[in-house]
Amino acid sequence: MSESFVKSLYIYPLKSAQGLAVDTLNIDAAGPQYDREWMVVKKSNRSFVSQRTHPIMSQLSTDLKNQNLIVKTPGFEDLAIPLDRRSPTRLEVSLFGKTVLAEKVGAIYDQWLSDFLKTEVLLVRTPEDNQRTTSGRNGPKTSIRFPDGYPFLLTNNATLDDLNSRLSQSVSMARFRPNIVIENDQADSEDHWDRFSIGTVDFLAVKACTRCAVIDVDPQTGKRSPTVSTALKKYRTDDGAILFGMNLSHTSTGTLSVGDRVENISEK
């Protein structure tokens, strides 16, 4: 088995906005700190807004600076949301058809995002007493914030290189929105992992990640083209579902950093 190490790490503080590269991930009971902690929902029906229906979300960048979540996009003043801002106003929102409890963040943030998206939306945050968990159908039931289903997504640069060898124009890993990108010399090696550790954190490879239309959104332009999904359909599917990356759960908390080795790998 070839040696694997962490090439890059990302968090996505605002669900469906651009990722933020970090040198270290601090892992708490719900996954990477601040990852998918904020989310945009439609004001009308409280359903979440993502790049699936609003590819322009890909043009929002984020940063964590001076105890604020900073949201940026060309043509708008930066939006600064205090990390310690908590609201007593709770509301139920819809995430993949399931009801999830969230906190309102504030009207000024709602307006900024509504102006950007050209539709009325609300900004919500995961409550401090968050009760959302994974479904438990795959792997152990664990606490999560607002990710689609699992607290981590791991991808492999060698697997991306294999995909790019089949494309007329290469794409970046940003298409796949991972938290952990590993580097090794074997494409698809992550498909066979069961348990492993990185830094001070132990992981369980729960299931291969089934991919939606977001992988066809160019993160640089926000434009959609089916090039990536068409290529993957030819060789990385299961029962018609496109696969790329591995969903993970964690069985301990701690930290991991760029350059850490992937250790204690057991395979399925």
Surface-to-core class of residue 89, CB atoms within 10 Å of its CB (0-12 exposed, 13-18 middle, 19+ buried): exposed
What would the two tokens of residue 219 be? 């993160």
Q: Is the pLDDT of residue 144 over 70?
A: yes
Cβ atoms of 106 and 123 within 8 Å: the answer is yes
Per the rule left: phi > 0, alpha: psi between -120 and 50, beta: everything else, 199 is left
pLDDT (average), residues 139-157: 94
Q: How confident is the model at residue 263 (pLDDT cuts 50, 70, 90)?
A: very high
Cβ atoms of 133 and 144 within 8 Å: the answer is yes
- Average pLDDT of the chain is 95
User: How many angstroms separate the CA atoms of 109 and 106, rounded?
Assistant: 6
Question: What pLDDT is attached to residue 246?
Answer: 97
Tell me whether strands 180-183 and 152-156 are parallel, antiparallel or unpaired.
parallel
Q: Is the pLDDT of residue 140 over 90?
A: no
* DSSP bridge partners of 202: 197
User: How many angstroms separate the CA atoms of 120 and 110, rounded?
Assistant: 8
Question: What is the gyration radius of the CA atoms in the chain, in angstroms?
Answer: 18
DSSP 41-78: EETTT-BB--TTT-GGGGG-EEEEETTEEEEE-TTSPP
Cβ atoms of 26 and 209 within 8 Å: the answer is no
Q: Is the pLDDT of residue 137 over 80?
A: no
Per residue in 34-70, pLDDT (tens digit) is 999 999 999 999 999 999 999 999 999 999 999 999 9
Cα distance between the two ends of the chain: 14
Cβ atoms of 45 and 51 within 8 Å: the answer is no
What would the two tokens of residue 87 be? 């609201």
Q: How confident is the model at residue 139 (pLDDT cuts 50, 70, 90)?
A: confident
Q: How confident is the model at residue 264 (pLDDT cuts 50, 70, 90)?
A: very high
Question: What pLDDT is attached to residue 2?
Answer: 74
Question: What pLDDT is attached to residue 138?
Answer: 82
Q: Is the pLDDT of residue 85 over 90?
A: no
User: How many angstroms separate the CA atoms of 268 and 252, rounded?
Assistant: 20
Helices and strands of the chain, counted as H and E runs: 3, 19
Question: What pLDDT is attached to residue 1?
Answer: 59
What would the two tokens of residue 43 be? 């004001």
